[in-house]
């Protein structure tokens, strides 16, 4: 009877021991490669004889390199964002809204452009703008000053209806005094019948 | 008894004869020329060389200059034709310039209906100019004057006499003491200039280096009102020409198109501070007296009638810019123009019975004149020669100044009230536009 128990116990111990040796051996295998990698990264050959100072220096240099790369990435991202912002602003300023002869009504095209501009204004809450109304050279100076103002007011009212605060928007009329194209033909006149937005 | 009867009849007969001849003298009253008659025949006038009165060397040149200025003035009227010297049979510069010395047959035979002689005396830089206007057919002196002054005053003296001639013929002193204000470009800026009625002596009167427009003379010639962007937006400036001082109309929005009330220190202008462009009456110092128009949409370009009782203006109340007239006593507004879809820039003739304006038909702008009667039809004065706008009447209503780009660049032109004799007034560097003709006498 006792002999059987002893034999069983011994077998249990032996099996358990086997398991442990195997797992321990695995662990040992796993840990070695990492150490080897780190060691290879050190050109100076990480000998166990390196001082703590040298190790710190290497570490700092590595960090600096990483930081530099990160900075370059960030800068690129910033520049891309700034470019996009500048493009949006340029688009806001350069894209004029045009009108039919003797009219201050906003065409569907005009309204689309203005909706985009309103979006930009909402994204840039600190910006105030001046809305400039213009006419082509036909017709009298005085009438055109009045018509230019009505065009500017049309645009301002459109922005206000979309929720932009009126206090951010000033209007002015230049009548026929500031043509974009000085030629005396229909193409030039169509270009000149415009409202232009500038940033104050 | 018989003798008494005889004497009675002789005396009666004599009296009748006397009365008849006296009567014809009375009837020899001048019928004034209707200077607005479109079919007017130009009256031939002879202006022979002037006479040197004291054989001073300078007198010849001065005489020639005075003669040249007078001929230009008479030509300018549009109802006189100055005759060619080659036709003359007599030379008053040699034979004499006064009535007694002239042989009128020498003038009637060549068809001169008017004759002007002149004599010039120069001494120590003082000039004395004698001028006489004759009716050769009646052997009659119509007007004679002597002017004394400096050599540099010759132009003024001649203009004064031209005014006398005009007065004799039309009952009005004419344009010879008047001035024209206008806009000219200077280095890409627009400034206000003035010149004499004939385009001489142009002078720049604003130096704002901005966009300055729409000059309008006050009735006494002391003030000019204009619109300027010098403070960043269109405001009206009322400038005292002599004292270089003035007032500003600078309400929120636009302040444009000033026009003075005749005989008062008041003006009308288009202001948009209420959010809509309306016409207001203001004091000469820029304070609002009252609102004159009441309709949604553009109301602009006021122009008063010569008696100040009515005001023409441009309104879009019917959908397109047209000219309306407001009676300032009854507040009634009636529409004046129905032809075409774009009629602006009204100018009320000093004769009171018609209005010139700029009408756009088929893409071209031209000057039209329309009477004030209900059934009046507009008459087109400029044709097929570029764009013609901004009409302004001369103070006697005989001429119209306007802007024309028929040469390619914008210039000031002048024509008679019937559209004849269209010629350029002056040519400065840059482009000229928006003439504003003063009343007769502008204070010097």
pLDDT tens readout for residues B407-420: 999 999 999 999 99
Chain centre distance of CA A84: 7
List the beta strands (DSSP E) in B243-372: 245-249, 255-260, 266-271, 278-283, 288-291, 299-304, 310-315, 322-327, 333-335, 343-348, 354-361, 364-371
ipTM: 0.84
Of B212, B156, B208, B158, nearest in space to B183 by CA: B212
A-B contacts (CB, under 8 Å): 72
pLDDT of the residue at A25:
45
- A80-84, B241-245, B396-400, B437-441: least confidently modelled range: B437-441
Q: Please check whether residue A11 lies inside any domain of the structure.
A: no
C-beta atoms of B345 and A140 within 8 A: yes
Residue B303: pLDDT over 90: yes
Nearest residue, CB atoms, A146 vs list B211, B254, B320 = B254
Domain containing residue A150: 89-199
* Residues in a beta bridge with B402: B413
Out of 2.102.10.10, 3.40.50.460, 3.20.20.140, 2.120.10.30, which CATH number does the structure's domain B179-437 have?
Answer: 2.120.10.30
pLDDT of the residue at B24:
45
Task: List chain A residues with CB under 8 Å of B433.
Answer: 141
Nearest residue, CB atoms, B214 vs list A102, A141, A153 = A141
pLDDT of the residue at B407:
93
Task: List chain A residues with CB under 8 Å of B358.
Answer: 140
- Long-range contacts formed by B70-75: CB under 8 A, 24+ apart: B70/B116, B70/B118, B70/B131, B70/B158, B70/B161, B70/B162, B71/B47, B72/B198, B73/B158, B73/B159, B73/B162, B73/B176, B73/B198, B74/B45, B74/B47, B74/B116, B74/B162, B74/B165
Domain CATH number, residue A103? 3.30.1330.60
* CATH tag, B31-170: 3.40.50.10070
| Tokens, residue B172 | 């009005």
Q: Please check whether residue A176 lies inside any domain of the structure.
A: yes
Task: List chain A residues with CB under 8 Å of B257.
Answer: 142, 145
Confidence (pTM): 0.81
List the beta strands (DSSP E) in B26-156: 43-46, 51-52, 80-82, 114-123, 126-135, 140-150
C-beta atoms of B234 and A173 within 8 A: yes
> Which distant-in-sequence residues (6+ apart) come within 8 Å of A97 by Cβ?
A106, A110, A113, A114, A155, A194, A195
Q: Please check whether residue A178 lies inside any domain of the structure.
A: yes
B347 touches A: beta carbon within 8 Å? no
Higher model confidence: residue B260 or residue A32?
B260
**Structural domain spans, chain B:** 31-170, 179-437
Distance from the Cα of B379 to chain A's closest Cα (Å) equals 19
Residue B368: pLDDT over 70: yes
C-beta atoms of B256 and A140 within 8 A: no
B253 touches A: beta carbon within 8 Å? yes
- Tens digit of pLDDT for each residue in B126-174? 999 999 999 999 999 999 999 999 999 999 999 999 999 999 998 888 8
- Tens digit of pLDDT for each residue in B214-237? 999 998 889 999 999 999 999 999
DSSP characters over B345-389: EEEE-TTSSEEEEEEEETTEEEEEEEESSTT---EE---SSS-EE
C-beta atoms of B342 and A102 within 8 A: yes
C-beta atoms of B344 and A177 within 8 A: no
Q: Please check whether residue A139 lies inside any domain of the structure.
A: yes
Topology agreement, domain B31-170 and domain B179-437: no
Sign of the CA dihedral running A37, A38, A43, A46: negative
pLDDT of the residue at A28:
41
C-beta atoms of A177 and B300 within 8 A: no
Residue A83: pLDDT over 60: yes
pLDDT of the residue at A33:
43
Look at strands B51-52 and B114-123 and give their pairing: parallel
User: Residues 189-208, chain B: which have Cβ within 8 Å of A?
Assistant: 190
Chain A positions with Cβ closer than 8 Å to B = 102, 138-143, 145-147, 149-150, 153, 172-174, 177
pLDDT of the residue at A48:
54
Query: How many structural domains compose chain A?
Result: 1
User: Residues 47-86, chain B: which have Cβ within 8 Å of A?
Assistant: none
C-beta atoms of A146 and B365 within 8 A: no
Q: Please check whether residue A135 lies inside any domain of the structure.
A: yes
Q: Please check whether residue A41 lies inside any domain of the structure.
A: no
């Amino acid at each position: 009877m006792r002999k059987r128990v002893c034999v069983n116990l011994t077998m249990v111990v032996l099996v358990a021991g086997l398991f442990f040796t195997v797992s321990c051996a695995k662990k040992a295998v796993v840990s070695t490669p990492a150490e080897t990698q780190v060691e290879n990264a050190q050109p100076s050959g990480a000998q166990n004889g390196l001082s703590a100072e040298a190790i710190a220096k290497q570490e700092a240099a590595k960090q600096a390199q990483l930081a530099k790369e990160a900075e370059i990435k960030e800068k690129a991202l910033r520049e891309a964002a700034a470019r996009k912002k500048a493009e949006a602003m340029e688009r806001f300023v350069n894209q004029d809204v045009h009108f039919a002869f003797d009219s201050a009504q906003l065409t569907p095209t005009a309204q689309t452009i203005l909706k985009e501009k309103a979006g930009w204004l909402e994204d840039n809450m600190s910006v105030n703008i001046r809305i400039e109304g213009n006419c082509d050279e036909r017709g009298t100076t005085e009438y055109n000053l009045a018509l230019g103002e009505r065009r500017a007011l049309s645009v301002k009212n459109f922005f206000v209806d979309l929720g932009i605060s009126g206090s951010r928007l000033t209007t002015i009329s230049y009548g026929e005094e500031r043509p974009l194209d000085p030629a005396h033909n229909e193409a030039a006149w169509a270009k000149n019948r415009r409202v232009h937005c500038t940033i104050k | 008894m018989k003798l008494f009867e005889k004497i009675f009849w002789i005396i009666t007969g004599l009296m009748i004869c006397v009365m008849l001849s006296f009567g014809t003298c009375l009837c020899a009253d001048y019928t004034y020329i209707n200077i607005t008659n479109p079919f007017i025949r130009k009256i031939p006038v002879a202006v022979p060389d002037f006479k040197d009165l004291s054989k001073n060397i300078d007198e010849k040149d001065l005489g020639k200059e005075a003669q040249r200025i007078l001929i230009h003035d008479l030509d300018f009227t549009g109802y006189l034709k100055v005759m060619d010297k080659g036709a003359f049979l007599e030379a008053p510069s040699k034979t004499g310039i006064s009535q007694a010395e002239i042989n009128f047959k020498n003038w009637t035979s060549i068809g001169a209906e008017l004759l002007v002689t002149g004599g010039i005396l120069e001494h120590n830089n003082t000039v004395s100019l004698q001028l006489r206007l004759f009716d050769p057919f009646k052997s009659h002196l119509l007007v004679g004057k002597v002017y004394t002054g400096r050599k540099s005053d010759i132009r003024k003296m001649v203009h004064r006499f031209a005014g006398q001639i005009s007065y004799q013929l039309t009952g009005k002193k004419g344009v010879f003491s008047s001035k024209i204000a206008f806009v000219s470009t200077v280095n890409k800026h627009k400034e206000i200039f003035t010149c004499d009625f004939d385009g001489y002596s142009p002078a720049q009167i604003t130096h704002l280096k901005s966009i300055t427009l729409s000059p309008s003379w006050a009735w006494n010639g002391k003030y000019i009102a204009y619109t300027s962007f010098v403070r960043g937006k269109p405001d009206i400036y009322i400038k005292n020409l002599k004292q270089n001082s003035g007032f500003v109309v600078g309400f929120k929005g636009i302040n444009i198109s000033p026009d003075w009330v005749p005989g008062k220190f008041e003006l009308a202008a288009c202001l948009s501070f209420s959010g809509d462009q309306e016409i207001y009456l203001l004091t000469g110092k820029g304070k609002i007296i009252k609102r004159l128009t009441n309709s949604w949409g553009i109301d602009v370009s006021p122009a008063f009638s010569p008696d100040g009782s009515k005001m023409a203006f441009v309104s879009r109340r019917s959908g397109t810019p047209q000219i309306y007239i407001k009676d300032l006593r009854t507040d009634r507004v009636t529409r004046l123009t129905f032809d075409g879809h774009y009629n602006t820039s009204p100018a009320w003739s000093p004769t009171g019975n018609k209005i010139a304006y700029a009408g756009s038909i088929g893409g071209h702008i031209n000057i039209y004149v329309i009477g004030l009667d209900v059934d009046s039809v507009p008459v087109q004065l400029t044709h097929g020669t570029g764009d013609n706008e901004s009409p302004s009447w001369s103070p006697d209503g005989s001429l119209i100044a306007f802007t024309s780009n028929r040469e390619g660049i914008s210039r000031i032109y002048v024509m008679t009230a019937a559209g004849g004799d269209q010629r350029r007034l002056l040519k400065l560097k840059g482009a000229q536009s928006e003439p504003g003709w003063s009343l007769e006498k502008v204070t010097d």
